[in-house]
Structures are given as C-alpha cells and as structure tokens.
Structure 1
C-alpha cells in the first residue's frame, strides 16, 4: 500500500456513517483499515439509500479500501479477536454509545493496557461524559442541538435539514484531525496514545461561526435566512430570467464595487455609505432588490458570463447531473470511473484532499460481508484448525 498513512493500521468498530467515514479517509490515504461487522448481515449501511443488486451504492463508496471481518461480539471468541487486533493497531475508531465497548470488555482501559500507544477515536452523540452521555445520538440530533438546523431554511418557515448526513460527517472530520494529532505525538516519541473524544453535537457547534458570542454579548439569536449570509452584504441566491438561480457573493469592498458596476448601478458602487460591509448590511434589502432586478432580466448564462468578466464570485446551483457533466470536476479527477464486482460501471467521488507527493487512491470498492475474515485471522496467528473452530461456533462469518 502507498500513501502518507501507509504502515498505519486502523481497526473500525463502527456502523453507518460517523466512524466509517472517518476510517474511510484513513483507508484512502494508505492505512490498512480492518472493519468489524456483525455476523448477521453486517453494517446496516449495506441496505441504506439506493441499492444495486441488493447492496447500497453508498456502501461501495463508504467502505472502499477496507477489509471486512465478520465477528460475533457476543461471543468470547469474537471479542478475543478484537483484543488481538487492537494490540496490533495504531488507531481504533468506534461509534458505540458510551460504555458499550466497556460492557464487552474491549473499552479504552482494556485495549490501551495491552497497547499503550493506541489512539482511540470515540464518536458519540454527546461525548463520553456529561449528563447526556447515555442518550442515543444520531447526526440529525447533533445538527438539531448544535444549532445548524435552527438557522437552516427560509425566514418564517420550519427548520430545514441539509440533504446529507452533515452532523455525522463533521464529527468524522474532527475525529480524523484528532487522531492524526494524537498519532503525531506517539510517532514523535512525545507520549503514549490517548482518547479522541468526539461529540456529534460539539462538531456541529464548532462550525457555527460567531453564533455563540453574538448571543452572549449582544443577545442576538441568529435566525433562518434562506439563501442569504447574515451580516455579510451582498451575498444571496438570486432568480434568473430562465427560471434558474445563481449564487452571487459580493462580500468584499472591492468585489462589491465591481458587482454594482456590472449590474449598471454606478450610483451604488460610488456611494460612500456603502463602502464597507457594516454599512452595507444596514441597506441589505435595497442591495438585494437591485441585484434581483438585474438577474431576473437575464438568462443564467448571460449573468454568469458578465460576472466572470467583472471578477465577481458567482455560480449556479448544481444538481448531481450538473456535477457529472462539469468539465472542472472531470479535470480534477473528482468523478472516478469505477467497476463494481459484477462488472457494472459508474462514477464515484474522487479523493479529497489532493496531496502532490503522496496522493490517496482507491484500491478496491466496499467488500463483501466478511470477505477478509479468514485472511485477517491467519495474519493474527490463528492456525487453520482455530479458524475452522471459530467459523463453526459462529464467532466469525
């Protein structure tokens, strides 16, 4: 295996979104990721969203480059396999409810005692302590309590959600960052392993910009604002003459002037009371009205061409079809040609971020349930007779 994380071994004890997405990033950049699935059918994600021949298309993406080992964690033999695996790993990533692994005898204290350099990423709804630690947590609840649901949607409408599992993904990214920082400490010899405690709620709150200081100092609660960016003017989504929508961001003072000239409003461009953002915010409705008057008289294509000439950031809102057809995505290798095990051809999202010297890559798509069980057991030192016994007694599948 190549990549900047080659030589790092990761044990994934997670299902669905948060822990598996974090482990996927490790796998894409060269780490060996061993995913533990239960013996009764595996990760529920295998059956989520759209299926192809009985398997989720999401699964093929979420589990790419991972090895699947099917274990019965209610079996002492299955738990022993996890202990032996963790002793050989650099990182364990899990999203059980706090205390869940401890009940199985494979919590932090047990695993770190056998492997002091182990880094354990623990992703949960509310964190490993605090009054809510024992509540079940999902990404949707993290988005709700973290503040992003309250601020998403049109003014006066019920709170809306982003159309993807944003809370889970934000927690995953925080988990990967924490794991890499903890690994750096271990690999530099500065200390032993540690727990990376990631809360879905806190991960969402961490990206909510000035939400908290605005309230605690000014008493202001940020409300839903549709396509606008509150406190930054002008920045919104505007309708076009051909029924489309464009996002226009005239955020900086210089860009604002270029935007006003492009829409044939030199009076606004040269108005000293609009020279800075704080002054523009007070007249945001007037500015939005002026921009809307211009955009509703032109097609999307003409609007974007005019704003590109004026060097004003603008773009139309993409669907999946727009993404797949866009030459920039293709040039950036963000639409990877993929062949599934049955020969089906499709595209998958490319690798992010792009490293110039040690880029990530895709070695294989999400594996079959338990596809690597036998090979991983042999790698741990189990002989063929022991492997046969584990399969026979249902500890492994």
Structure 2
C-alpha cells in the first residue's frame, strides 16, 4: 500500500520514502506514527510511505520482492534521496536493498543515530554519539567490503580487499578505544560530583520518560534553566543538572536526561553509560508521562523496560502526568496510594498548572533535616 504525504513549505535536506511493515508477531512491532515523527525530526521530507503485511522478514530484502519492485519503480519515476525502514535491517539486507533500489537505505537504528548526531551539543554528548555510531558501523564493516573479499583460499592467495578491510577495522577500533578513554575521564568527573553531593546530603532527582513527554519544559519551569525544549523527538540529548530550591532549607539537584524510546538501540544504551548513571544513582525518579497520548500506558511500560535494562528499576518513582492543558476539563491534582504516599501528580509544564503540587510532593518526600549541610556549587 502506498501513502502520499503533503508537506508544508519547510525546507528539507532529503526526500524520503518510508517503509513500514506490519508483522503478525509482536516481536517486530514498531509504531508507525512514532516512525513519522522520527523521520521529520531528522529533517527529511516524506514523499511516500509503503506499507505491507508479512509474517516474518524476508531474508534478502526484509520486504518481499514484489514490494521491492514497487519501491524501485517509484524511485525511478519520482526520485528520492533516502529509503527509511521502520525496522532494524541486517547488514546483508541493507546492502541488498541499496544495490537493488539504487538509493541510500537507513534502518530504524541508523535513523535514531542520525538524529542523535544532529542534537548533540556538549563535548560529552558528541563523544557518546560518535561512539554509538562507530560501534554500529563496526558490525557492518565486513559487508561494506564484500565486493573485495578474497576469491580463493590457500597460502599466497590473499584477497585484494582484505588489507583495506583490516585497515578500516583497526582505525575504527583505535578510535573506539580513544573515545572510551575520553568518556572514562568524563565519568570520573561526574562520579566526583555525585560523591560531593552525597557528602553534602543533597539528593538528586532525575527526570525520566518517553521522548517528547515534556521533561525539558518541566525542568526549565522548576529550575529556571533555559535548556532547549522543543516539540521534537530527542530534543534533549546532553544531560543538564541544576539546583532546585524548595520552601524548606533542603535543596535538591535535578537532572534532565535523554528521553527513552521503544526498543532503544543497544549501542546507544552502552554509549550513554555515564549519562544514564545520573538516573541509576538518583534518590527519586520523576517519570514524566504525556497524559494526552492515547498510548500512554504502553509508553509507561516501554520506559520501565529501559529502566530495568540499566538497573534503575528499584529506584522510587513519582509519576508526573504532563500536558493536562491539552485535555479538556482536566485539572491539576495529586493522588496518593493505599499507604498515603504521593504516587501521581497531574500538571502542565507548559503553563505551570500543578507545579506547586509537585513542589509540595518533593518537600514531603525530602523533609529538611537539622543536620543538613549546604554545598555551594555550580548547577
């Protein structure tokens, strides 16, 4: 099935064709609406979307040969710079598709890596993105040089492309080791800052949630910071920490972190290790949820899966149902569990409704202590 899109007058770098396959098995499920948002966030103009149904991926093209013929005919007739799949392709499938379609092909992981490379601004963020890209590339390197592989076996019959392949692999591995060393230095600096906060009895709360749930908008409202808050997926990549002063002598440090997404690529989880440690070591997680989203329960599940994968599943959570300004008749409110503890707050980080309830909850969760010592540091 072919779906055509009418784009506005915004300037785009690429004309992209989207490919979304609906599988009967839930293991291959990816949301199509989220896919469109990802492509738009990457700065591509969507000219068409091809959809289809399969039981399992085709081993050669991921899609069937008939669907591949349809896409090639469209590329030849209308032109496109990019074919983007809403699924992860094997290196062989990606190579076969590029050869057959005569067009650049990206899978879902490569699309997310592309977005991350555009968003990274800090020194640490750029290092993390480059590491994730190189780790992903290293798994596909041998297939990129398949046309130069050795033709025969035996002593003295070394293939003409093997030397180039080994050179590329060595250069990539050397750069990966350098990036690990640089990130380890950043990790030590972060660890030192966390120890200083711990000695000064300053708890850290970490904002977590699905991408585009409004974490950065809430962060700015709470702390007076001016980090980028945009209606785009992964608008925030670089972790930011700021001091939050309450109406009591107690102070907190709030960490704004990268948003999660369904089936977050493993290479990104590994590369953003030092950033995710701010979540692992937090005293409380503020789980920001898009209350207006029809899929909010599924998104909550996806975020908790990522928290489990990084070892943060046992950290207490306070659910923040954001964007109530988009829900007709929804008012700010505070909900408690059967033990009387605050478990859920409904608010709008856009206009500030309910922020006072969140501050009240934080005061209740972190009561001021007589032994509290103030640490004057820059956040």
Question: Same fold by TM-score, threshold 0.5 exceeded?
Answer: no
| Greater strand share, structure number | 2
- Higher relative contact order, structure no. (Cα contacts within 8 Å, ≥ 6 residues apart): 1
TM-score (norm. length: structure 1):
0.27
